[in-house]
Chain A
Amino acid sequence: MRPLLRTWATAWSKAAANRHGFWTGITLMTLNDVAWIVFWVLFFSRVGNVRGWDIDQIIALFAVLTTSAGFVLGMLRNARLIGPIITDGGLDAALSLPIPTLPYLLTRQVDSLFVGDMFFGVALFLLFGHPTPQRLAVFAFGVFSAVLIFTGFLVLVGSLSFFVGRNEAGDLGFQALLLFSSYPVDIFSGATKIFLYAVVPAGFVTSVPAKLVTEFDLGWAAATLAVGLGLAGAGALTFNRGLRRYTSGAVWTRA
């Protein structure tokens, strides 16, 4: 655990070393998120309420999304790059180290752009999410589950590159998860809704946690955590299985 924390701290120092770039990234992402909030405010000012979703619930959804996605894409930057690292033969540097490969890869890089997302999500909930001790606890639980789902899903689809040798499908899967998580799952119906819970688990990333913040339900909370743990396990298993097939690319720079 200690070497991993050291790796993470080094990655953080590296990202923060370029102070101008670091704060520019955080500012840009904050502006980006504000634009989305403006969109939702405009939308609900015209519509009022859509299938039980109003602006308060959307703010909870967006806070969970930006905090969790910001943590995964910012603090665990390589989670999104697992596929390209594998296909470009860039695992070699990580394989030579005496620590587990996957945790090392995940903690190796920090992206300040998405760290801005993470800060924005927390600030959004604290300012506009009507925080009470109970709502804060459920919010933290929702973010934790969403981080597990995001990371597990990204590692899983990225690790498929070990077997198929390409990464387009993995990147598309990630884009799909991020996109569908940005909207309330109840705007969809029928087969699409089932798809968003069962195949691309976007419903569990944001919609369920946002609903839990408003009205806690133990069954849905347990299901969300189970999906997160299941995906994290599946991701790790697929990566380790794939690692046995990996052959060196003699590239030492990407990991």
Chain B
Amino acid sequence: MSDLAPNSQGTVSAPRPRSEPRPRPTSAPASRRRNQSQAARTARRAATISARRLIASPSALVTVGAFYLMVSSVLAGLWSTAAEAQGGSIVGYSSAALVWYIVTSEGAINAVPLRLIETIGTDIGSGTIETEMLRPQSVVGLRIAGEIGSAVLRLGVCVVVGTGFALIVAGPPPVLGAALLALPALLLAVIANIVAHHAFAAGAFWLRDAKSAWFLYQKLVFVLGGMLLPLEVLPRPVELVAKALPFAAVSYAPARLASGHLEPEWLLVQIGWLAVLGVVATLLFRAGERRLIRGGS
């Protein structure tokens, strides 16, 4: 193709540099597409910067790995001792399956900063968020992207440490295919967890503090999310309710797969909850930002 393109008057314009994009007639969908790709680029950049920042501080990664190993070893020890006391298994989980369950559920939770809700709440309450509202991108979108960038690194550390620990203590995963499915489930769990943190923290736009939301969310994930215990341990009606809640998507789903249950439908459940949580977080942040603009505080 020649660079000497005819213009609308039928004359030939000067050649354009190759790097410069050709002007196209602008329509609403095209402009929306451009905005979306720009937003995606910015989000990718935010994730990369956040990940690089974490790489620059290896001691923080070591701390994440060490803390994760401590928590996993304690809970895995508790559950495997209990399984042995019960003749080898509890609610259908063998001692080895319980070790794989715990290292996975803990990995999903430890990859995200434990006090993220509180931190977001502080940023909202202190007015830091108002500065971010000056940018032409979505505040919540950019924040979530940044958190995903560093969480993926932390998750990598947890997967390496957790797999090593479980292989030593319990041997190979009970069902290899299910364990492989647990990897994408872990990633989905971490992203869903980050989005859920933002949805819960958005309450700070109205309450000016997210400490209560943090406590509430943490306890819901601990018990109803299956972080501390397989959901089958709960009384049957509570178990059914817990499995239908979003908290199961952030911890139980990958742990269930890693413990040898080939149930790929959990990935679909996670994707569904991720979409719902994303919409809820976006709507709440939009409403909160509007409130800040109206209040002028």
Please list the residues of chain A having a beta carbon within 8 angstroms of any beta carbon in chain B.
24, 28, 31-32, 35, 38-39, 42-43, 46-51, 166, 168, 171-172, 175-176, 179-180, 182-183, 187-188, 192
Contact = CB atoms under 8 A, between A and B. Distances in A.
26 contacts: A31-B219, A35-B219, A38-B223, A39-B222, A39-B223, A39-B228, A42-B223, A42-B233, A42-B234, A43-B82, A46-B82, A46-B86, A46-B91, A46-B233, A47-B82, A47-B90, A48-B85, A51-B81, A168-B60, A168-B62, A168-B63, A171-B63, A175-B70, A176-B70, A183-B78, A187-B77
A28 B218 CA distance: 12
Contacts of A47: 82, 85-86, 90
A32 B67 contact: no
A158 to B, nearest CB: 16
Contacts of B11: none
Please name the 3 residue pairs, one residue from A and one from B, whose CB atoms are nearest each other, closest first: A35-B219, A47-B82, A187-B81
Interface string B56-67: 000110110011
Interface in B63-108: 63, 66-67, 70-71, 73-74, 77-78, 81-82, 85-86, 90-91
Q: Is the interface of B mostly helix, strand, loop or mixed?
A: helix
A46 B71 CA distance: 22
Given A28-B215, A31-B215, A42-B229, 14 more contacts: A35-B223, A39-B222, A39-B228, A42-B234, A46-B90, A46-B91, A46-B233, A50-B81, A51-B85, A166-B59, A168-B60, A172-B66, A179-B71, A188-B77
Interface residues of B, number: 30
Contacts of A38: 223
Contacts of A172: 63, 66-67
Interface of B: 59-60, 62-63, 66-67, 70-71, 73-74, 77-78, 81-82, 85-86, 90-91, 211-212, 215-216, 218-219, 222-223, 228-229, 233-234
Contacts of B70: 175-176, 179-180
Contacts of A187: 74, 77-78, 81
Q: Is the interface of A mostly helix, strand, loop or mixed?
A: helix
Contacts of B215: 28, 31-32
Contacts, number: 73
Contacts of A179: 70-71, 74
A47 B233 CA distance: 10
A192 B71 CA distance: 14
A171 B115 CA distance: 15
A28 to B, nearest CB: 5
B233 A32 contact: no
A35 B216 CA distance: 10
Contacts of A39: 222-223, 228-229
A188 B169 CA distance: 13
A42 B71 CA distance: 19
B74 A183 contact: yes
A139 to B, nearest CB: 24
B223 A50 contact: no
Contacts of B81: 50-51, 187
Contacts of A168: 59-60, 62-63
A29 B182 CA distance: 33
A28 B91 contact: no
Nearest to A182: B74
A12 B126 CA distance: 25
A166 B59 CA distance: 10
B141 to A, nearest CB: 30
A228 B210 CA distance: 36
A250 B62 CA distance: 31
A42 B70 CA distance: 23
Contacts of A35: 219, 222-223
Contacts of B71: 179
A147 to B, nearest CB: 23
A112 to B, nearest CB: 11
Nearest to B214: A28
Contact of A43 (B59, B66, B212, B229): B229
Contacts of B66: 172
A32 B86 CA distance: 29
A48 B74 CA distance: 19
A50 B222 contact: no
A50 B82 contact: yes
